[in-house]
Amino acid sequence: MAQAPDGVFPLASTYKQAVLWAVLREVDAGRLSPGERFDVSTASQSLGDYPYDGSNVRDLTERMIRHSDNTATDLLHRRVGLGAVQALADDLGLCRTRLILPTKAWWTAQTGSSPAFLAATGWDKATGQERARLAAAIDADAQRLRADVLQNRLNTYFDGTPDPADDLRVHNLSTPYEFATLLAHQHLRSGLSPDTLAWQREVAAMGYGRSALSPQGAGKVAAFAGKGGNGWRLLTYSGYLRTEDGRHLVYAFMQHGADETYTMPNTRAAFAWIGAGLGAVLSKP
């Protein structure tokens, strides 16, 4: 069951699943220690709550997935390198998927607060080294902006006449088909060691989605990983599940340009659609 599988949509916070995978690959490579600790600075603080100083990598991965903490995400994304998250899509040939910007960077661009973004006439189509160069410049602008100032500028932007096309210019993006493909590889062909694979399974299961599945569907789930994202007229849910009889499924729901500014109340309708899709697949012999 699919609608607009090749349409391009903003990912919002569901992109954080890719950050988790990139972090664990860096742990396996020996370039990142699970016990490494981080302090929060004015530069690194993004919107919403933020972790206490001294949080380690494991703590940040849990906050990123369980609580969708934007600062935790940005700390990890920058630590592994902007390009390391983007490489997950590039290595799979997912040419319409952009995963390179931390959360604070895309909101800074959306409010017109990044000189680098305003000057980058080719950002939308940039790839490879040029995209990496521009992303680093946009993120540098974001780190010069206090989170409270950014929040006020976003409020002003969305109180005006926001253009949905701006979302496609600034957000991390994918198509339902491409992001489902990435999730299938993340959970079935991750290349992770046994220890980091167990870490991924434990943390990914903390993401939202299992409780929203129908009681009939949830009762057949042996393993689950999921994440949601919402924002101004955006709603995304994606995940992976393994059934008790050993079947593997992924799903990707992406809504852009909802009638409602605050989209969380659309969750029940979204999971009715997701559940119907999963049911259609599971009903096949």
pLDDT digits (tens, 9 = 90+) for 245-277: 999 999 999 999 988 888 999 999 999 999 999
Look at residue 50 in the predicted model and tell me its pLDDT. 77
Quick one: average pLDDT of 121-137?
Answer: 94
- Percent of the chain scoring above 70 in pLDDT: 97
Contacts within 8 Å (CB) and 24+ apart, 276-284: 276/1, 277/1, 277/2, 277/251, 278/213, 278/217, 278/241, 278/249, 278/251, 279/214, 279/217, 280/1, 281/1, 281/249, 282/217, 282/220, 282/243, 282/247, 282/249
Asked whether the beta carbons of 258 and 252 are under 8 A apart, the reply is: no
Quick one: average pLDDT of 47-75?
Answer: 94
pLDDT class of 220 with cuts at 50, 70, 90? confident
Give pTM, 2 decimals: 0.96
The average confidence (pLDDT) of the chain is 94
Q: Is the pLDDT of residue 118 over 90?
A: yes
Cα 209–chain centre separation: 14
Q: Return the bridge partners of 28, or none.
A: none
What Cα–Cα distance (Å) separates residue 117 from each residue in 47, 60, 100, 114? 19, 28, 14, 5
